[in-house]
Chains A and B, each alone.
Chain A
C-alpha cells in the first residue's frame, strides 16, 4: 500500500519532468501567403521548405541581425554584415541611391527583394540563380557581398543563447547548419509581399487616381503610348514584370539580356538599370523616350527603336512618372 502511495506521488513529478518546455516544441504554424488581386497563384515555395510563421520570424531575425559575431570580421573588411546592410526596407529592400556599382563593387546593381515568391523564372538580373535559398548562399559567400565563412557563421549561431531554440521552433532541430539558415532567410524574403500601393487601391475601387496618373497609366499600357506593359506587366499582371529577360537597347554594343525588374516601388529603387547608370526616374523615362539604341540583339518588343524611343512629349513624361509614383507602397 505504501509502495502504491509513493508511486502515485512520484508519477506526476516524473510526468512534469518529462514534459518538454513549450518553447522547445516543434509545432510550426503554416504561414498564410496573401493572394492579392491579379497576382499569380503559382509560387516558388519548395516542397522541402514550406513557409511557417516560425521560419519567417527566424529568417527576419537573421536578415537584420548585424550583431552576431560572425559579422564583425566582415565589418572590419568593409563587407556588409548581414542582408539588411544593403537591402533596406525603405528602398523596397534595395540599396538606395548610394548603391551604385562603384560603391557596391558588384557586377550589377541590386534588384528589389519584393514579391519574389511569385518569380518562377530564376533570380537576379540574368535570372541565373534558381532559388531564393541559392541566392542566400550566394550573398553570404560572394567576395563582393557578405563574404562569410558559412562554417563560422553556423558555429557562432550555434553558440548563441537564442538561435538554437528558434531553429528548433522553425525546423525541429537545434543543430544548426547553413542549409537551415538559407531556408529561414528565403522564407522571410518570400513573405515580402507588396500589394497595397495607390494603384492597388484604385484597382480595388478604394481610391481614385488623378487625371495625370490616369493618363500616365494609359500611356504605360498602350502600344502607341510608352508601351511599357509588354515587359513590365500591368493590367492583369499585377507584379509589374514578366520576370523575363530582354535587351532594352541601352547600348548599341550591349549583347546581353537582363531581367525586367518589377516597377512596384520604382520611385524608391534608384539607381536604375543593371549598371545603375540612371539616378532618377526622369532619366529613365528620357532614355525610353529618346535614346534607345539599335543593335542586332535588341528585343523586337522595343518597336520604337527606329525613332530612338517612344518620343513622349514633356507633358506625357510627367504623366507617366505620376503613374509610376502610384506604384509606391508607403
Chain B
C-alpha cells in the first residue's frame, strides 16, 4: 500500500511538472518578439543634399535662397502593419540642425512584424500644442506667443533669400497656429502625413527608418510660394501658412533604404559637423 502511494505521488509530481513545462513553452512561443528602430532625419534641396549656409538653391518661383537652420516637431508618430495594427513610436519628437543628437531618434520594444506605412503629425495638434508643455530648452525656445495662438512653433526654417534688387532678406518660414488680423480667430495649421514604408522589423537588428524633408516641396505643389510676394516672416500671415500647410503633403518621404541622395546628405552633414568649430570653453589652468 505504501509503495502504491509513493508511485501515485511521483506520478502526480511528474504531471504537475509536465503541465508547468508545457505552459511555459506555450507562453514563450506566443510571446511576440520585439525589435528596435531608429529614425534618422535628412534634408534635400534641388535634388541635392542640403548644404546649410549656402546661397545655392532656387525655388519653384525662382527665388534664390539659403537655409541656416531648421528646427521642427513631429508628433503622434505611428507605424502601421500590413494587418492594419498601429504601433505608436512616441508622442513628440524635436529635430534641430544645430543639435546633431536630435537628428537620430532611437525607439525600442516595437513588435517584430511587417510595417507598410508610417504616419505622423507635422507639428503638434490641438491636444498636444499646449503652452508650457516643454519647460526646458531646446524645445522651450520653440514657444509660439499666446497672442498668436499659443503653444509652439511647428517649424522654424531660418535662412535668407535674394529679392529682385539682389538684396539678401531674412527668410523665417515659421509655421504654427495662424490667426486673423485682429487675432480674434485662430487657425490650426498642423497636418497629418502618412507615407508608404516597407519595413520588416527584425529582432536583434538595427531597423533604420530614413525620414527626409525635401525643402523644394514647401515652395510648390499645389501652390507656388513666392517669397517676394508672401514675405520672409510669416507668423502673422495666415495666407502664407495655409499655402505651406497645403504644400506640405509631399515634403516628407520615408524609406528603410537610404537613397543615394540621403547617403550623400548624411556624409556631407557629418563632414560639416566635424569641420564646424566646437564651442571653445574657458580652459582652466589650475595650479
**Chain A residues engaging chain B, CB cutoff 8 angstroms:** 38-42, 120-122, 124, 127-130, 134-135, 137-138, 150-151, 178, 218, 221-224, 227, 229, 233-237, 242-244, 294, 296, 300-303, 305-306
What residues of B have a CB within 8 angstroms of the CB of A227 in the complex?
233
CA distance A38 to B279 in the complex (A): 28
B184 sits at the interface (CB 8 A): no
- In the complex, the answer to whether A42 meets B136 with C-beta atoms within 8 Å is yes
> A122–B279 Cα gap in the complex (Å)?
9
Q: Are B131 and A235 in contact (CB under 8 A)?
A: yes
Annotate B123-143 by CB proximity to A: 1 below 8 A, 0 otherwise: 000000001101111001101
Contact B140 A40 (CB under 8 A): yes
Q: Is B155 in contact with chain A by the CB < 8 A criterion?
A: no
* Contact partner, A306, options B137, B146, B169, B281, Cβ 8 Å: B169
Nearest 4 Cβ contacts at the A-B interface: A303-B170, A221-B145, A300-B170, A42-B136
Chain A: CB-nearest residue to B286: A137
Task: Looking at the assembled complex, report how far the CB atom of A298 sits from the nearest CB atom of chain B, in whole angstroms.
Answer: 8
| A237 partner residues in chain B, CB cutoff 8 A | 140-141, 143
CB <8 Å contact, B236 and A222: yes
Contact A134 B282 (CB under 8 A): yes
B208 near A: Cβ within 8 Å? no
A-B contact pairs, 22 of them (CB 8 A): A39-B135, A40-B137, A121-B137, A128-B280, A129-B281, A134-B282, A138-B282, A150-B286, A150-B287, A218-B147, A221-B145, A222-B148, A223-B233, A235-B143, A236-B134, A237-B141, A237-B143, A242-B141, A300-B159, A301-B158, A301-B172, A303-B232
- Distance between Cα atoms of A40 and B136 in the complex (Å): 5
Q: Is A303 a contact partner of B145 (Cβ separation < 8 A)?
A: no
A242 touches B137 (CB 8 A): yes
A129 nearest in chain B by CB position = B282
Known: A130-B282, A134-B284, A303-B232. A120 touches B137 (CB 8 A): yes
The closest CB in chain B to the CB of A41 belongs to B135
CB distance from B57 to the nearest CB of A (A): 15
Q: CB of B167 within 8 A of chain A? A: yes
With beta carbons under 8 angstroms apart, the residue of A121, A151, A234, A306 that contacts B145 is A234
